[in-house]
Amino acid sequence: VLSACQGQLRQAEAENAQLQLQLKKLNEEYALHLQRCARAVAEYANRTSQEPAAAALRTFLETTLEHIRAAHRSREQQLARAARAYRKRLSDLSRRHEELLATR
């Protein structure tokens, strides 16, 4: 049983490493998305310099920023759920390990 718990602990550690890699990848994607948005805004502003364009630019920026915020919130929630599941699993493994040590 102790061997099984150690195996589960290694599996949980591997999952944690995978989640951290996923977080790094998502952060990179987020940064690239922000850069693309900034580029799009700059190009749009260069094409138009009239007053009605200011309102259109504001609308465009608000929509883009809301999209980015929603995507970021969703990713944060996904990672938070995964982290909670990981912590619970580690807690359960630790409790089982303590029980095994106590029964020896």
- State which H helix or E strand residue 80 sits in: helix 51-103
Angstrom distances, CA of residue 50 to CA of 41, 55, 101: 15, 10, 75
Average pLDDT, the chain: 80
Over residues 46-61, the pLDDT tens digits come to 676 666 777 777 787 7
The per-residue pLDDT for 46 is 67
Tokens of 86: 């990981």
Domain spans of the chain, in order of start: 2-103
